[in-house]
Chain A
């Protein structure tokens, strides 16, 4: 169990349960009362076998799914009882997402994909925000590919665009669901190095779901889920 001071916790989950098909004969509980705290600036790997509940937990942390029972405090605010508009607003301002399949909008260029969260929040993209998006794309090594459509980019490049997009609103927490799961080893390493660099440079917390033990070993802390329970939660010890 994480022993972090509660006051510095970015997120705090207590007794989180999640069931599907509630009230039906095929009701199934996939998370069985989880407790998890994530401090500001942490880089956490969420690992576990398929079906252990990693993605469900990530969706709950990302306010994309509601838990069946338990409490969830995001930046000290209880968010489990918020309505859809409240959850949407917090997703917009507090969270960044990176998905396994990049999930860029194919009709928009790389730069437009990165500025979409700004456009969505403010109805327009100002010159300063555009410059910031350009800097982000340059920071992920895509200075020459800003005007390219996702279909013109490799998988690794698309994932780097998705990372830049997740950072453009400067959220305190980025959630990445197997961000390297669809990439070859070289691209995978590149993307992971990039995530670590963004973490180091910007002090953003990351929760990364991964199947890759090599990558998990390069995080600050590993949380392992087995059958909907936290089986292991420990800091990664680097060899001396």
Chain B
């Protein structure tokens, strides 16, 4: 039984071994290219994941709010009428999402929705002694809200608990008010005031948020903000964050609420991430093109150098297809060996980055890993590029006239 590509493999490997220095140089070139691609992919993935985790760690993937109050014209203008209308925009009052209790199970039933949390939010003041701070008051059900922003994991002091009369504060706000876990403070809105005990301090990842966030039980916020039984909004966490925009658009078509995805609320961040992804793709493309050209140029030289050997082989009865495959196999071998070395080099670079590059606080900047799937994908593409790069030289070799090649 014949061995698959037995002749082509044997001749290709010998040709590569014969031109040892050339082969070594091109494999190093491919390895460098693969290492750059794999390392940049891992770095950008790590950076984007970290940025996203920090951004989305403190906010919902989709927010659902009551629609804004708008002024409707008293009488519709008829086509033949001429009207000069000046409309004063309405001040937006705090309103509850209509029928939110029925909406929660409906949204929770959606395939891509991981959690739904009702919340009541408004502004107020936190008072302690002579200190007063403007606050963003949020009333939540702790278990539901924890599934949106992972609140329990952000606790830096105390333990997350929200029984009636209890509150969780942002770390900076507590410092401004001189409050520690267990202390009491007064929350005041335009309507009423209430005294609460601090059970935990949290770090939401953004100082400004930490400086004004007070989280209380849903019922307490309803009473402080004058919305008994109401919820000013629903926060949604998704299983796949990248589907938020499409799902928000879908929900907008179904419900008459103001529904926004995290991408719409962070347009600049999304633009930056997109720009980063496009730049990375361009770098990867350019590096791959350089790798392809490198392999192709070395193989073109090899075809010229091996002209006589190709002629002998053709004279002995080697088919054009076999000669073609000899060079394609060379391209594949160079690509594959270069890929393996390149991936190893990328892993080393990642190790160096995570161990030696530190932020101003002395901690690693962010975690970078090279997922196996990415490594295999890069290696496969590089090997494929090796084969593609070999096509032109291989065709040239296969088209060689044996009589002429032998005469040289």
Chain A interface size band reads 20 to 34
Q: Which of B1, B6, B317 contacts A117 (CB 8 A)?
A: B317
Contact (Cβ within 8 A) B18 A107:
yes
Whether B5 sits at the interface, judged by CB under 8 Å, is yes
Whether B273 sits at the interface, judged by CB under 8 Å, is no
Chain B interface size band reads 20 to 34
Instruction: Compute how far the CA of A20 lies from the CA of B15 in the bound complex, rounded to whole angstroms.
Output: 33
Whether A50 sits at the interface, judged by CB under 8 Å, is no
Shortest CB distance B312–A (Å): 5
Shortest CB distance B407–A (Å): 8
| Contact status of A117 and B316, CB under 8 A, knowing A103-B406, A124-B3 | yes
Shortest CB distance A1–B (Å): 27
Shortest CB distance B15–A (Å): 7
Instruction: Compute how far the CA of A62 lies from the CA of B17 in the bound complex, rounded to whole angstroms.
Output: 31
Whether A108 sits at the interface, judged by CB under 8 Å, is yes
Q: Note all chain B residues with C-beta closer than 8 A to A165.
A: 316
Contact (Cβ within 8 A) B316 A62:
no
Contact (Cβ within 8 A) B403 A88:
no
Contact (Cβ within 8 A) B317 A91:
yes
Whether A65 sits at the interface, judged by CB under 8 Å, is yes
Which residue of chain B has its CB nearest to the CB of A106?
Answer: B18
Q: Note all chain B residues with C-beta closer than 8 A to A117.
A: 316-317
Whether A105 sits at the interface, judged by CB under 8 Å, is yes
Write out, one digit per residue, whether chain B residues 299-330 have a CB within 8 A of any chain A CB (1) or not (0): 00000000011011111111110100000000
| Contact status of A91 and B316, CB under 8 A, knowing A99-B406, A107-B14, A107-B17 | yes
Contact (Cβ within 8 A) A116 B316:
yes
Contact (Cβ within 8 A) A64 B403:
yes
Q: Note all chain A residues with C-beta closer than 8 A to B320.
A: 84-85, 88
Q: Which of A65, A93, A108 contacts B14 (CB 8 A)?
A: A108
Whether A120 sits at the interface, judged by CB under 8 Å, is yes
Which residue of chain A has its CB nearest to the CB of B312?
Answer: A103
Contact (Cβ within 8 A) B6 A123:
yes
Which residue of chain B has its CB nearest to the CB of A90?
Answer: B317
Shortest CB distance A14–B (Å): 22
Which residue of chain B has its CB nearest to the CB of A171?
Answer: B317
3 A-B pairs with the lowest CB-CB distances in the bound complex, closest first = A92-B317, A123-B2, A123-B6
- List B residues at the A interface (Cβ < 8 Å): 1-7, 10, 14-15, 17-18, 308-309, 311-320, 322, 402-403, 406
**Assuming A89-B317, A103-B311, A107-B17, what are 5 further A-B pairs, CB within 8 angstroms?**
A88-B314, A103-B308, A105-B309, A123-B2, A124-B2
